[in-house]
Amino acid sequence: MNILIVDDEPSIIAALRPVLQAQGHSVATSATAREALAQAGASAFDLVLLDLGLPDADGIEIIAKLKRLTSAVIVLSARHQESEKVRALDEGADDYVNKPFGIEELMARLRAAQRRLDQQHDDRHASFASKELQVDFTRRSVIRLGEEVKLSPKEFELLEVLCRNAGQVVTQRKLLIAGWNDPAADGQYLRSYIALLRQKLEYDSSEPEMILTEPGVGYRLAVTF
């Protein structure tokens, strides 16, 4: 992937650049919002890693513009700033990584973003498959560990959104739109349907390993391939 790192902290860039390059990505960097927009406009990037604390602007303000210029934006954010994360995701960011992060975590998010980009390029993409779960979006069938699972239409709609964004966080707002066509719908409905899905799909629904909660943000489908 062509990756643009936007961060004003040289030590972060110094740590990330060699690892990303070693993974076969090409890396460009910028230290300000203005520079980032200029670079993104000049050449096509697949993904932007965006730090929100930039010297010349709040990173959240440039997410929408960056999204028009590049395919995916992943935000680097501090723990405990859930409302900031939600705002960034609502602005169009695809995912976030909590600072400080281990490199494995960052790589997993990059892979998830890559997977989604690949799917977008492939219109016929009509199924999802991980180690435990196979979902066919056209036939609307769900197979968990080789066994068919019956889902209600609403359960399926929610699972489909999670699967299409597998490995990436999906905000409560997005799920409410997917299931009820109304971002202001009662979150209690969503919690109830997630609980139902977990009962059908998880080994132990009180300790979910597949449909994970991101407290204050949304849900994430964990993927193991």
Task: Give the footprint of another protein on this chain (CB under 8 A).
Answer: 79-80, 82-83, 100, 102, 152-155, 186-189, 191-193, 195-196, 206-209, 212-213, 215-216
Q: Smaller CB distance to another protein: residue 93 or 158?
A: 158
Cis previous bond, 100, omega within 30: yes
Q: Smaller CB distance to another protein: residue 102 or 146?
A: 102
Q: Smaller CB distance to another protein: residue 2 or 205?
A: 205
Which amino acid type is present at position 215? P
Residue 172's CB: how many other CB atoms inside 10 A? Answer: 19
Buried b (16+ CB within 10 A) or exposed e, 28-55: bbbbebebbbebbeeeebbbbbbbbebe
For tokens 């009962």, name the residue.
Answer: 199
User: Taking the complex as a whole, how short is the minimal distance between the CB of residue 67 and another protein, in angstroms?
Assistant: 25
User: Taking the complex as a whole, how short is the minimal distance between the CB of residue 62 and another protein, in angstroms?
Assistant: 25
Q: Smaller CB distance to another protein: residue 114 or 189?
A: 189
User: Taking the complex as a whole, how short is the minimal distance between the CB of residue 43 and another protein, in angstroms?
Assistant: 34
Q: Smaller CB distance to another protein: residue 118 or 186?
A: 186
Which amino acid type is present at position 205? S
- How far apart are the two ends of the chain, measured CA to CA in Å? 20
User: Taking the complex as a whole, how short is the minimal distance between the CB of residue 177 and another protein, in angstroms?
Assistant: 18
Cβ partners under 8 Å of residue 66, min gap 6: 36, 37, 40, 48, 50, 73
User: Taking the complex as a whole, how short is the minimal distance between the CB of residue 217 and another protein, in angstroms?
Assistant: 8
